[in-house]
Amino acid sequence: PPPSESADPQGYLPGRWYVIGNRTLLDAAISAAHANGIVPMVDVVLNHRTAARISPNSSDWTDFEGPDWGEWAIVKDDWKCPPDEQEKSCPDNCTCGEADTGENACYAPDVDHTNPLVQADVIEWMRWLRSDVGFDAFRFDNTKGFAGKYVEQYIQATDPVYTVAEYYDSNRNLVTGWLDSSNR
- Determine whether 87 is an active site residue: no
Q: What order do you get walking across the sheet with 41-44 strand by strand?
A: 41-44, 137-140, 163-165
- Determine whether 166 is an active site residue: yes
Rg (C-alpha) for the chain, rounded Å, is 16
**Residue 51 region by backbone torsions, left for phi larger than 0, else alpha for psi between -120 and 50, else beta:** beta
Distance CA 74, CA 90 (A): 7
Check: CB of residue 153 under 8 Å from CB of residue 50. Answer: no
Task: Say which DSSP state 137 is in.
Answer: E
Among residues 82, 17, 18, the alpha carbon closest in space to that of 48 is found at 17
The helix/strand/coil state of 170 is: coil
Catalytic residue selected from 141, 152, 159, 169 = 141
Distance CA 107, CA 184 (A): 28
Catalytic residue selected from 68, 85, 166, 169 = 166
- Catalytic annotation, residues: 141, 166
